[in-house]
């Protein structure tokens, strides 16, 4: 959410940003919120004046009663009552205007970084760099579910009976591989200096609307019926929410956190849910990284975080590339974002496995996450998030890139101490 002062003082900048995101339908919202804000400030100013008048006149009543001038005091009381009646209407008007302003402010997109490439959608995202040698072997790579089934590692049919499409049972070596990757991801981030967390898996609506846009919420979140609780779609939601309405001493920054959680997603959209696959599913587990820092440090952290993802995947012998999201592909809260895509030998192309985002002060402004500077000033923090790893999607890349001709799967050295073996087979 932007600072209303920015919209007041530089509406053309905000409009230009909306155009750069190809959201022209939102241009009228800038002028609309400016008019509402002016009306709100005038209403508030009038209400403040009436409160002062009432305070002064109320003292006069006491003085009149003290002098025994009861009749005059009653007249003044009527005057105070008139002021109170008008004040009540103004206060109600303030509440209505404030709600309307917030509703609009929540959908005006954040100001994107000047380095973000302009483009309408993900087809115009820009490749930054490739890491590792993307090789297609001289033998066929089966579909990922077929690889898992050949290793007696997955049961989708039973899951469909218990839960429907978008669910699975993992078992045997594949289940162990899944857990080993998460354990390795946890230790990998701890070694980078991040503090490990297991957060709440449900959050209140006040946190949901603080960490994401309404469009994302409708397409992702599962609501707990009868309660003000949502199942998290990623532990970033809980971890950023942890700091709601707090003032962090500047000396305690940065906060570098890594968190494990199950994740629950509706996955509403064009892609739908595969019947025979684990790429897009309703339930999975993930290791996340989250940073809360000073504004001047956020871009340095952004670069550091997406490079951690590259390092992690390279340590598991999975070639990747970094792809910068163009302006039209950025969610409204994001300032800048890079996706890490893993190479699929079966399809001879890359697919997304991580997404690193700098949110600027958008989440902090919505959630009231402020920093107290050493000079006693207060300002909003910057927040960033990035996926460390999200199996089972990541398992697709792992299995395809480590599958041998004989159907066995090699375990890279970094993972061997977690698996207790260097290969899994039938």
Would you give the DSSP letter of residue 60? H
pLDDT of residue 64: 66
235 with 225: CB under 8 angstroms?
A: no
Range with the poorest average pLDDT among 33-37, 213-217, 355-359: 213-217
Same domain for 163 and 87: no
Q: Domain for residue 394, yes or no?
A: yes
Mean of pLDDT values over 358-383: 96
Q: Tell me the residue range of the domain where 144 lies.
A: 122-424
> Six-digit token pair at 176?
């162990």
End position of a domain, from candidates 40, 74, 105: 105
Q: How far apart are the first and last CA of the chain?
A: 53
> Six-digit token pair at 43?
């209403």
Q: Which residues contact 43 (CB under 8 A, 6 or more apart)?
A: 90, 93, 94, 97
Same domain for 129 and 17: no
The rounded distance, in Å, linking the Cα atoms of 85 and 70 is 22
pLDDT of residue 57: 78
> Six-digit token pair at 94?
């303030």
The rounded distance, in Å, linking the Cα atoms of 256 and 293 is 8
Same domain for 99 and 214: no
pLDDT of residue 348: 94
264 with 232: CB under 8 angstroms?
A: yes
Q: Which residues contact 330 (CB under 8 A, 6 or more apart)?
A: 21, 109, 112, 116, 336, 337
131 with 120: CB under 8 angstroms?
A: no
Mean of pLDDT values over 267-292: 79
Strands of 246-249's sheet in order across: 246-249, 369-372, 378-380
410 with 423: CB under 8 angstroms?
A: yes
pLDDT of residue 270: 42
The mean pLDDT value of the chain amounts to 92
> Six-digit token pair at 328?
């039209």
> Six-digit token pair at 256?
């570098």
Q: At 164, give phi and psi (nearest 5°).
A: 100, -175
Distance, C-alpha 347 to centroid of its chain = 30
Q: If you average pLDDT over each of 71-75, 282-286, 302-306, which comes out highest?
A: 302-306
Same domain for 184 and 98: no
Mean of pLDDT values over 345-362: 96
Same domain for 202 and 75: no
Mean of pLDDT values over 3-22: 96
pLDDT of residue 78: 76
Q: Count how many domains the chain has.
A: 2
pLDDT band at residue 63 using 50, 70 and 90 as cut-offs? low
The rounded distance, in Å, linking the Cα atoms of 264 and 121 is 25
CATH of the domain at 349: 3.30.930.10
pLDDT of residue 281: 87
Instruction: Encode pLDDT of 89-111 as tens digits.
Output: 999 999 999 999 999 999 999 99
CATH of the domain at 70: 1.10.287.40
pLDDT of residue 275: 59
pLDDT of residue 212: 84
Same domain for 158 and 74: no
Mean of pLDDT values over 135-144: 94
Same domain for 388 and 356: yes
Same domain for 134 and 97: no
Mean of pLDDT values over 380-388: 97
Q: Domain for residue 117, yes or no?
A: no
pLDDT of residue 62: 64
End position of a domain, from candidates 72, 105, 138: 105
The rounded distance, in Å, linking the Cα atoms of 49 and 414 is 69
pLDDT of residue 72: 74
Same domain for 251 and 294: yes
Same domain for 181 and 60: no
> Six-digit token pair at 300?
């340095």
pLDDT of residue 66: 67
Q: Domain for residue 82, yes or no?
A: yes
DSSP assignment of 365-400: HHHTEEEE-TTS-EEE-EEEEEEEE-TTHHHHHHHH
Instruction: Encode pLDDT of 141-185 as tens digits.
Output: 999 999 999 999 999 999 999 998 889 999 999 999 999 999 999
End position of a domain, from candidates 59, 74, 105: 105
The rounded distance, in Å, linking the Cα atoms of 143 and 154 is 13
pLDDT at 13 over 90: yes
Share of the chain above pLDDT 90, in %: 82
Same domain for 351 and 250: yes
Mean of pLDDT values over 60-67: 67
């Amino acid at each position: 959410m932007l600072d209303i002062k920015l919209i007041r003082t530089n509406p053309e900048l905000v409009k230009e940003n909306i155009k750069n995101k190809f959201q022209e339908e939102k241009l009228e919202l800038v002028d609309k919120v400016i008019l509402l804000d002016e009306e709100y400030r005038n209403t508030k100013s009038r209400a403040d004046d009436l409160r002062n008048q009432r305070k002064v006149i109320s003292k006069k009543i006491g003085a009149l009663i003290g002098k025994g001038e009861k009749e005059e005091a009653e007249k003044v009381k009527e005057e105070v009552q008139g002021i109170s009646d008008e004040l009540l209407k103004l206060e109600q008007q303030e509440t209505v205007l404030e709600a309307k302003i917030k509703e609009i402010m929540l959908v005006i997109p954040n100001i994107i970084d000047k380095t973000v490439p302009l483009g309408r959608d993900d087809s115009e995202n820009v490749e930054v760099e490739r890491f590792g040698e993307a090789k297609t072997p001289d033998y066929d790579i089966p579909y990922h579910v077929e690889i898992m089934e050949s290793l007696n590692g997955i049961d989708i049919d039973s899951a469909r009976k218990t839960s429907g499409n978008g669910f699975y049972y993992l078992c045997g070596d594949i289940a162990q591989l899944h857990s080993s990757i998460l354990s390795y991801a946890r230790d990998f981030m701890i070694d980078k200096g991040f503090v490990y967390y297991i957060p709440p898996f449900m959050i209140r609506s006040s946190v949901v609307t603080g960490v994401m846009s309404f469009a994302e919420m409708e397409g992702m979140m599962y609501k707990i019926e009868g309660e003000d609780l949502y199942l998290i779609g990623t532990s970033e939601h809980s971890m950023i929410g942890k700091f709601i309405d707090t003032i962090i001493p500047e000396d305690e920054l940065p906060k570098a956190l890594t968190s494990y959680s199950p994740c629950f997603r509706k996955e509403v959209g064009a892609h739908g849910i595969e019947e025979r696959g684990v790429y897009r599913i309703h339930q999975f587990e993930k290791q996340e990284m989250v940073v809360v820092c000073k504004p001047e440090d956020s871009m340095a952290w952004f670069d550091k975080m997406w490079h951690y993802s590259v390092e992690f995947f390279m340590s598991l012998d999975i070639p990747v590339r970094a792809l910068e999201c163009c302006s039209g592909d950025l969610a409204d809260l994001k300032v800048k974002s890079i996706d890490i895509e893993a190479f699929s030998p079966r399809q001879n192309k890359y697919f997304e496995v991580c997404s690193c985002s700098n949110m600027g002060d958008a989440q902090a402004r919505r959630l009231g996450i402020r920093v107290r500077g050493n000079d006693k000033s207060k300002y909003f923090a910057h927040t960033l998030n990035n996926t460390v790893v999200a199996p089972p999607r990541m398992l697709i890349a792992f299995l395809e890139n480590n599958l041998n001709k004989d159907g066995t799967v090699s375990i890279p050295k970094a993972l061997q101490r977690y698996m207790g073996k260097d290969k899994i087979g039938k």
